Structure 1
Amino acid sequence: MFASDNAAGVHPAVLAALAEANRGHALGYGADDYTARANQAFKRLFGEQAESFLVFNGTGANVIALKGLLRSYEAVFCSAESHLWIDEAGAPEQFLGAKLITLPADNGKIRLDDMLPRLGDIGFQHRSQPRVISIAQCTERGSVYRRDELQAICDFARRHGFYVHIDGARIHNAVAALGGDCKRLFTDIGVDVVSFGGTKNGLMMGEAVVVLNPELQANYAVIRKHGMQLASKMRFLAAQFLAYFDQDLWLHNAAHANRMAACLAEQLHTVPGARLMVPAETNMLFVEIPNAWIAPLQQQAYFHVWRADSRPGFSEVRLVMSFDVTQADIEAFIGTMRRLATG
């Protein structure tokens, strides 16, 4: 199935860790050894100043992360394609009481120049006050911000008194593509808070809010409880992350998904009638195919139509590779495409 990486199952090592954590009793709400060790694991990734707060899901991670950054009369810059804007059912605005300001996306990425017209709102009493820049890494189009691009965003934020939030639902795929160093990619350049995903890369459930700016950390424990994201049996979230980080399983899973996407992209070039819409940078492909191919291909491996009738007779579809996709899955899918292409 190529619909989404959250359609994949749970990695066996994570399931084994859950079974192990199920032995005996442990204190609740994070006062257990598993959670303490998970926090140390995040510190090893992001640096000693990082504090992590485990939560249930990605929307929860985003709203909890942002709640610690702004007040209700302030605003968040985000992409018009962002999960925050499109796929969280208004939860950020409802929970934060703040405004989302959308910016045009260029292959998923925002441009600093598009924020310039809103700088005049600063200090103007009739306007929501810009306070946060939120970007997805990787983006909803599978693209990644290079380190110099992230640095430019953080520098811009500092000049104007903004904070920087990373929606990292697929941060694993981005980090695998960029070299695997979270401290260098995020902490050292001035990112304030990261929503760190796991569910799309082999966890059963569980994400983390990783607060990199020590000046912002004090209230996040209460914000998490207030936001209904504090797990009573926290050890079962933490145990998953311990398995996830052990021997860099998280990066191995993500790198494999990225390789499968690159392999599929390479073979798509040999299929007449299929057109890759954007370069394959991580584990997501956007491909334009004839409408007549959609139903039979979905029988082979289900996927979502991203932009129906992108041009007459064709639609853009999204193909997402997961940690458990195999070369045989790719070959079977391409084989079906070739049969359809030759009639």
Structure 2
Amino acid sequence: MLIDPTYPKSFASDNHAGVHPDILDAIAAANHGDAPAYGDDSWTSAFEVKIKEVFGPGAEGFAVLNGAGANMVGLALMLGRYDAVICADSAHIATHEAGAAERLLGVKLMTVPTEHGKLQPDDIKARLGGIGNVHETQPTVVSISQVTELGTCYSPDEITALADTAHAAGLRLHMDGARLANAAAYFGCDLKTITADAGVDVFSFGGTKNGALAAEAVVVLDPSLTDAVPYLRRQSLQLASKMRFISAQLSALLTDDLWLRNAAHANQMAARLANGIADIADVSLAQAVQSNAVFAALPPAVTETLLRRYSFHYWDKAAGIVRWMTAFDTTSEHVDDFLDDIRKAVAST
């Protein structure tokens, strides 16, 4: 697929965006002189303090290299060799991590068909029948994606209900927070409200999709789990030698609400795009827009025309559904130009 070089802005993924200038400045500021390796540096210490400030004094943060690695380290903390994870069938750990949980952790994913990508308390209860049965894997963790793969967000109350259900059954709650910032921006709440206050035990905090270069974190809220993290992080190949450059990025995101400004802007651009297609014939929304993802149904000819110039992905080709993503650096001009081209493509087919 060839993309018109005169229009470089991608709507395929927030991973396609560049790095926020404030984060580049933070990396540059850390790039002076020598510093101890593997996290024994002042930038990592500052990041660990920042995690406690944002998520509460009981939170422990561990910088890692990527989101899949953050999920594997976080899940590994809570799982044994015969355990299982309850998750939506659309969850990133089930669909987009190449079977990492099964291959690397040796656990079973108990996937659940869901509406709009979100688990409900009854979905957890329906998977608990095998507890204590020696012939079955044992559900030990419930994992949710925030934001879901369908762009929807769990509210604080929804997370609390899931946490209460999981904890009542002796399970822990994990959150894949690759776009956690976008969910908090959508609900107008702080990060602590939809993690620590809602009963999450372990979660990842995504930076890469929100303006960072390559920076994620595992955040542990259950104090009984923290001692194992350094060893599992090393064993999982997620211990960066020059960790100061990852920690500096995460601290920058968590300073002066940069995480919120970036995520809120990306959400606003998605809403602008969604509102803009409302009056375009033969184009409709396929999901509610609650984050920086827009799922739309288009005639195949329109999609193919747009793909000659723009980068984005089919979500369900048979149904004609595509996914458009916005990012912290998407501008209103980017969106409006894209909308103009959608209208032209519809008119010409």
TM range (shorter): over 0.9
Alpha-carbon distance in structure 1 between the residues aligned to 2:141 and 2:346: 47
1:342 to partner: Cα distance: 2.2
Alpha-carbon distance in structure 2 between the residues aligned to 1:300 and 1:246: 37
Amino acid corresponding to residue 126 of structure 1 in structure 2:
H
Q: Residue 62 of structure 1: which of 56, 71, 79 is its match? A: 71
Asked if 1 retains the 8 angstrom alpha-carbon contact of 2:94 and 2:109, the reply is yes
Task: Check if 1:336 corresponds to 2:348.
Answer: no
1:158 to partner: Cα distance: 1.1
Question: In structure 1, what is the equivalent of residue 304 of structure 2?
Answer: 295
Q: Output one character per residue of 1:122-170: Cα deviation in whole Å (capped at 9) or x when no partner.
A: 0000000000000001101110111111111011011100000000011
1:62 to partner: Cα distance: 0.3
* Partner-residue secondary structure (3-state), 1:158: helix
Question: In structure 2, what is the equivalent of residue 127 of structure 1?
Answer: 136
Question: In structure 2, what is the equivalent of residue 157 of structure 1?
Answer: 166
1:51 to partner: Cα distance: 0.4
Amino acid corresponding to residue 2 of structure 1 in structure 2:
F
Alpha-carbon distance in structure 1 between the residues aligned to 2:308 and 2:269: 20
Asked if 1 retains the 8 angstrom alpha-carbon contact of 2:124 and 2:165, the reply is no
Alpha-carbon distance in structure 1 between the residues aligned to 2:125 and 2:157: 19
Could you list the runs of 5+ residues in structure 2 that have no partner in the other structure? Answer: 1-9
1:184 to partner: Cα distance: 2.1
Question: In structure 1, what is the equivalent of residue 27 of structure 2?
Answer: 18
Alpha-carbon distance in structure 1 between the residues aligned to 2:157 and 2:245: 37
Question: In structure 1, what is the equivalent of residue 324 of structure 2?
Answer: 319
Q: Residue 281 of structure 1: which of 275, 287, 290 is its match? A: 290
Question: In structure 2, what is the equivalent of residue 35 of structure 1?
Answer: 44
Comparing 146-155 with 240-249, which one deviates more in the overlay? 240-249
1:300 to partner: Cα distance: 3.6
Give the 5 Å matches for 1:230-269. Answer: 230-269=239-278
Question: In structure 2, what is the equivalent of residue 218 of structure 1?
Answer: 227
Asked if 2 retains the 8 angstrom alpha-carbon contact of 1:38 and 1:239, the reply is yes
Amino acid corresponding to residue 79 of structure 2 in structure 1:
L
Asked if 2 retains the 8 angstrom alpha-carbon contact of 1:180 and 1:251, the reply is no
TM-score, normalised to structure 1, is 0.97
Q: Output one character per residue of 1:7-60: Cα deviation in whole Å (capped at 9) or x when no partner.
A: 001111111111111100111111100000001111111101000111000110
Alpha-carbon distance in structure 1 between the residues aligned to 2:79 and 2:18: 36
Comparing 228-237 with 116-125, which one deviates more in the overlay? 116-125
Q: Residue 52 of structure 1: which of 46, 61, 80 is its match? A: 61
Amino acid corresponding to residue 135 of structure 2 in structure 1:
H
Amino acid corresponding to residue 119 of structure 2 in structure 1:
I
Give the 5 Å matches for 1:141-152. Answer: 141-152=150-161
Alpha-carbon distance in structure 2 between the residues aligned to 1:182 and 1:17: 22
Question: In structure 2, what is the equivalent of residue 78 of structure 1?
Answer: 87
TM-score, normalised to structure 2, is 0.95
**Identical columns (%):** 45
Structure that is richer in helix per residue: 1
1:72 to partner: Cα distance: 1.2
Asked if 2 retains the 8 angstrom alpha-carbon contact of 1:38 and 1:241, the reply is yes
Amino acid corresponding to residue 100 of structure 2 in structure 1:
A
1:247 to partner: Cα distance: 1.3
Amino acid corresponding to residue 208 of structure 1 in structure 2:
A
* Partner-residue secondary structure (3-state), 1:106: coil
Question: In structure 1, what is the equivalent of residue 98 of structure 2?
Answer: 89
Cα-Cα RMSD? 1.0
Q: Residue 110 of structure 2: which of 101, 110, 131 is its match? A: 101
* Partner-residue secondary structure (3-state), 1:176: helix
Q: Output one character per residue of 1:93-139: Cα deviation in whole Å (capped at 9) or x when no partner.
A: 12211111101121111122223332120000000000000000110
Amino acid corresponding to residue 318 of structure 1 in structure 2:
R
What is the aligned length? 339
Alpha-carbon distance in structure 2 between the residues aligned to 1:265 and 1:291: 19
Q: Residue 14 of structure 2: which of 5, 29, 35 is its match? A: 5
Alpha-carbon distance in structure 2 between the residues aligned to 1:254 and 1:208: 17
* Partner-residue secondary structure (3-state), 1:217: helix
Give the 3 Å change call, closer, same or farther, for CA 118–242 of structure 1 in structure 2.
Answer: closer
Q: Residue 209 of structure 1: which of 199, 218, 226 is its match? A: 218
Comparing 181-190 with 96-105, which one deviates more in the overlay? 181-190
Question: In structure 2, what is the equivalent of residue 179 of structure 1?
Answer: 188
